[in-house]
Amino acid sequence: MPAPGTPAPPAPVLAAATVVRVPLSWTLTPERAALLVRDDARPFALIGCWAGGGALIGSEPIAVADADADPFTLLATQPRVARGAGDGAVAGGWFGYLGYELGRQLEPVGASPPGGGGLAPTELAFYDHLVRCDGHGRWWFEALWTDARAADLSDRLRALDARAAQPPRRRPFATAPWRATPGPAGHELAVAACRRRIHAGDLFQANVCARLESRLRGAAIDLFVTAAAALRPDRAAFLSGPWGAIASLSPELFLERRGRRVRSAPIKGTRAAGERAGLLASAKDRAENVMIVDLVRNDLGRVCVPGSIAVEALAQARPHAGVWHLVSEVSGLLADDVDDGALVRAAFPPGSVTGAPKVAALNVIAELESSARGVYTGAIGFASPVAGLELSVAIRTFELCGKRALLGVGGGIVADSDPHDEARECVVKARPLLDAIGATLVLDGHGAGAPRPLRVAPQPVPRPDPAAGVFETLLVAGGTPVALDRHLARLRRSVRDLYGRSLPPELMGELRAAAGTADRARLRVTVRPGRGRLAIELEVTALTARATPVRLVPRTVPGGLGDHKWADRRLLASLGDDGEPLLCDLDGRVLEAARASVFCVDPGGRLLTPPADGRILPGVTRARVLELASVLGLAAVVEPLGLGRLERADELFVTGALGGIEPAHLEGQAPRDPGPVTARLTGALADLRLAAVHRPPSC
CA distance 76 to 389: 9
Q: Which of left, alpha, beta for 232 (phi over 0: left; psi -120 to 50: alpha)?
A: left
Residues whose CB is less than 8 angstroms from the CB of residue 615 and which lie 6 or more positions away in sequence, other chains included: 114, 115, 559, 560, 561, 562, 563, 585, 591
The type of residue at 270 is T
The CATH class that applies to domain 550-694 reads alpha beta
The CATH class that applies to domain 16-447 reads alpha beta
CA distance 98 to 394: 9
CA distance 125 to 430: 30
Q: What's the confidence (pLDDT) of residue 88?
A: 82
225 burial (CB, 10 Å; 0-12 / 13-18 / 19+) is: buried
DSSP characters over 35-59: GGGTTSSS-EEEEESGGGSSEEEE-
Decide if 367 contacts 460 (C-beta within 8 A). yes
Task: Give the Cβ contact number of residue 545 at 10 Å.
Answer: 7
Q: Which of left, alpha, beta for 485 (phi over 0: left; psi -120 to 50: alpha)?
A: alpha
For residue 500, the 8-state DSSP code is S
Q: What's the confidence (pLDDT) of residue 6?
A: 45
27 burial (CB, 10 Å; 0-12 / 13-18 / 19+) is: exposed
**Does the CA dihedral 87-93-98-102 come out positive or negative?**
negative
For residue 183, the 8-state DSSP code is -
Just give the CATH number of 466-541.
3.30.470.10
Q: What's the confidence (pLDDT) of residue 1?
A: 36
Structural domain boundaries of the chain? Answer: 16-447, 466-541, 550-694
Secondary structure (3-state) at 652: strand
CATH topology agreement for domains 16-447 and 466-541: no
pTM of the model: 0.94
128 burial (CB, 10 Å; 0-12 / 13-18 / 19+) is: buried
Residues whose CB is less than 8 angstroms from the CB of residue 136 and which lie 6 or more positions away in sequence, other chains included: none
pLDDT (tens digit, 9 = 90+) per residue, 525-556? 999 998 888 999 999 999 988 888 999 999 99
Decide if 204 contacts 356 (C-beta within 8 A). yes
CA 377 to chain centre: 9
Decide if 19 contacts 81 (C-beta within 8 A). yes
Residues whose CB is less than 8 angstroms from the CB of residue 663 and which lie 6 or more positions away in sequence, other chains included: 548, 549, 550, 651, 652, 653, 671, 672, 673, 674, 678
**Does the CA dihedral 608-609-612-618 come out positive or negative?**
negative
**Mean pLDDT rounded to a whole number for the chain:** 94
| CA nearest neighbour of 385 among 8, 60, 94 | 94
CA atoms within 13 A on the CB side of 442: 9
Residues of the chain with pLDDT under 50: 1-6, 697-699
CA distance 464 to 113: 10
The type of residue at 617 is L
Task: Give the Cβ contact number of residue 465 at 10 Å.
Answer: 13
Secondary structure (3-state) at 450: coil
